[in-house]
Structure 1
Amino acid sequence: MGTKLPCTGSHEGSGTVVAVGSSVKNFQAGDRVMAGIIYHPCGTCGDCRGPETFTQYCTNAAYCGVKDADGYFAEYARIDSRWAAKLPDKVSFETAAPLSCAGCTVYKGVLLAGLKKGEWLALVGSGGGLGHLGVQFAKALGLNVVGVDARGEGLDLTRKGGADLVVDARKGDEAVVKEVKKVTNGEGVAATVNISDAKTAAATSCAITRMHGTVVQVAQPDNVTIPFQELIFRDIRLRGSLICSAQEANDMLQLVAKHNISVNVNAFKGLGEMEKLIELAESGKMKGKGIVIMDQSQIDTEGNGVV
């Protein structure tokens, strides 16, 4: 993404405010916050102006840990108050950090599906770092959920998240479609969120979605490949999604607190364990999200019931 070095990595963070700028009115020292990836949005482009349900991201902004702004692998980090969110008392730092991007991203995908309570939503890649959150968000919003994954670890997390139907993608598209149609009156789900970057994942997402249904593409492979029959003969509506707005992030945190939504975290203490985190992430065996704890004392304070 054009990252210029040196740049402190990590675009997902949470912590305690130690100081605020003179223009900041909505936060004060001592606030527990989820830090956003966006830094210094322009405030004038279409996405900055809104409306909330339409915004994607400011193309003129810097991005913490990614482009033109340092991230959260640090003892202190500078964040933009317009893209930060206060943490409800019930939401821990360890839960909040992965929510700041992974959570915001899949939450937006679920919202864009545009479904009502009781309708069927599928998530392809349901057992990954984003997917296992998406399953829980969808259930909390009253949806029936199909989880599709191709890893044993991912299928386990999908079940843990409460999916109504869990399907192993390794069985092949024909078998996956058959299982999905069994629980959806032979039609397929009303909408699918694709979080898998596997070459066939987008096609699978369309195949399990009913005619005139919606597929929200969240995964970012080099190319998204879909058979023309899905788009033309079955009128599948495809749309892309990246991240939710600041207000939607606050709404997400309230949902997390209300429904006790959990993030399956793999915690490492300090930057000295970064290599272990990378090895786990690249092994394909990680369950959920990896985090680095920069200040153990804040975690200990939460554990003692002090927030």
Structure 2
Amino acid sequence: MAVNLPKTMRGQFLQAYKKPYDLLSVPIPKPLQPNDLLIRVDAASYCHTDFVLAEGQMPGFPREFPHAGSHEFAGTIVSYSESPSSKASAFRVGDRVGVPGRAFHACETCFECRGSKDPVSRDDEGYSVYCANAENNGLSRDGGFQEYAVVDARQLAPIPEALTAVEVAPLMCAGITIYAALKRCQLESGDRVGIMGCGGGLGHLGLQYAVKMGLKVLGVDAADAPLELAKSLNTGATVVDARSEKAADVVQSLGAEDGKKDLGEMGLDAVIILPESQQAFDYAMTLLKTHGKCVVVSFPEKGFHISARDVVFRDISIIGSLVGSNKMLREMLNFSAEHHIRAVTRSFPLSELNELVEEYHKGGGGKLVIDMSIDR
């Protein structure tokens, strides 16, 4: 099936650090490599990393200006390269797909591509989301804040029929990131997990995933709007305001609920760190049981201070988590469709991306999404 395409498209582009996006008309990119597919972007979500990049806090990114951000988007396939690979040919024109940032044009030959041993990020041999030589949509190369984009067939996930593009876009980074972080906790049904920043873009999805995984969930936040959003989900998770409830008191409460008297076995089996705050990190470490796991997702510019006493005397494991594999991406989408897990979103037209960014800085929680259908 052929799709007639215009010669140019609109896109929102950064032309310098610390500047607003500019709405420009540019040529539509072409799929040139065997794994390339051209998609019409239907929705593109805004992530905290988009802000970090725009502020110049990610050295080396973007590779050049002007630059279209968004590494979490969804769209519809409109064309292939002249010699499509078997991976590309597995998709059809008209298929709806979700597109994460990682990994565009993985090299197929590095250590990761030849077969990582990590169960969360491992894909079929020849492709890895951790490929050090790959490009990243929305970071090193243009992403979803444009009407069309070239993507790598190996990074895509088919969209389940139950999900819309606006629902899928936030799952391509926020969704897979928190889903993978929960998997890295290596918990069993009935175990306790804490989510720091539970009312944010990742956090409110994490509450939903964790509950549906059969875990006992504690959400923690320290701002009115995110706390209100987290509570409004009615997941059954316990939501705590860190401003008014001390971590030590929460541990005692959980211990009483579990019938535990030994301080070492009171609290959480694992906690996921989403905020960039040292206070949030310290609060989370206090919540953990002895032998607990601390999964770090955020990456503040100055890092976190880690107590050696927690690591040595309490045997706390500190683990980093970025994203999951393409296999896990597909698993996450199907899990989301099956359990009706959705991000709380607000939609904006492409022409109002700068207004979206202004709303992001108000800290209302949830996810902000460009819906291309609004002014297409």
Question: Normalising by the residue count of structure 1, what TM-score does the alignment of the two structures yield?
Answer: 0.91
C-alpha distance in 1 between matches for 2:259 and 2:189: 17
Partner of 2:248: 174
Structure 2 residue 361 is matched with structure 1 residue 289: no
Partner of 1:15: 75
Residue identity matched to 2:93: A
Partner of 2:139: 66
Partner of 1:50: 116
Partner of 1:242: 322
Tell which deviates more after alignment, 103-112 or 217-226: 217-226
Displacement of 1:54: 4.4
C-alpha distance in 2 between matches for 1:16 and 1:182: 52
Displacement of 1:226: 2.4
How many residues end up aligned between the 2 structures? 295
Displacement of 1:178: 3.7
Tell which deviates more after alignment, 212-221 or 15-24: 15-24
Percent of residue pairs bearing the same amino acid type: 35
Task: Say which SS state the counterpart of residue 145 (structure 1) adopts.
Answer: strand
Partner of 1:265: 345
Tell which deviates more after alignment, 170-179 or 107-116: 170-179
Task: Say which SS state the counterpart of residue 283 (structure 1) adopts.
Answer: coil
Distance 1:54 1:262, change over 3 A: closer
Residue identity matched to 1:239: I
Deviation by residue 1:154-181 (Cα, 9 ceiling, x = unmatched): 2222221514211111124334444444
* Contiguous gaps of at least 5 residues in structure 1: 299-307
Displacement of 1:147: 0.5
Residue identity matched to 1:53: P
Q: Is the 8 A contact 1:266 1:290 kept in 2?
A: yes
Task: Say which SS state the counterpart of residue 170 (structure 2) adopts.
Answer: helix
Partner of 1:97: 169
Q: Is the 8 A contact 1:18 1:30 kept in 2?
A: yes
C-alpha distance in 1 between matches for 2:214 and 2:375: 37
Distance 1:92 1:57, change over 3 A: same
Distance 1:195 1:106, change over 3 A: same
Distance 1:27 1:183, change over 3 A: farther
Partner of 1:203: 282
Higher alpha-carbon Rg: 2
Q: Is the 8 A contact 2:248 2:287 kept in 1?
A: no
Deviation by residue 1:212-232 (Cα, 9 ceiling, x = unmatched): 011100111121122222111
Q: Is the 8 A contact 1:129 1:287 kept in 2?
A: yes
Displacement of 1:60: 1.3
Residue identity matched to 2:100: G
Q: Which runs of 4+ in 1 moved over 3 A?
A: 172-186
C-alpha distance in 2 between matches for 1:43 and 1:185: 52
C-alpha distance in 2 between matches for 1:183 and 1:151: 26
Distance 1:184 1:280, change over 3 A: farther
Structure 2 residue 202 is matched with structure 1 residue 124: no
Partner of 1:302: none
Q: Is the 8 A contact 1:73 1:294 kept in 2?
A: no
C-alpha distance in 2 between matches for 1:139 and 1:88: 21
Partner of 2:354: 275
C-alpha distance in 1 between matches for 2:228 and 2:236: 10
Displacement of 1:77: 0.8
Tell which deviates more after alignment, 223-232 or 141-150: 223-232
C-alpha distance in 2 between matches for 1:117 and 1:33: 31
Structure number with the higher helix fraction is 1
Partner of 1:40: 105
Q: Is the 8 A contact 1:132 1:161 kept in 2?
A: no
* Contiguous gaps of at least 5 residues in structure 2: 1-57, 122-128, 261-265
C-alpha distance in 2 between matches for 1:227 and 1:163: 32
Q: Is the 8 A contact 1:194 1:202 kept in 2?
A: yes
Structure 2 residue 298 is matched with structure 1 residue 219: yes
Distance 1:47 1:185, change over 3 A: farther
1:28 to 72, 86, 92: 92
Q: Is the 8 A contact 1:267 1:292 kept in 2?
A: yes
2:160 to 85, 88, 95: 88
Q: Is the 8 A contact 1:149 1:169 kept in 2?
A: yes
C-alpha distance in 2 between matches for 1:185 and 1:173: 18
Task: Say which SS state the counterpart of residue 151 (structure 2) adopts.
Answer: coil
Q: CA RMSD in A?
A: 1.8
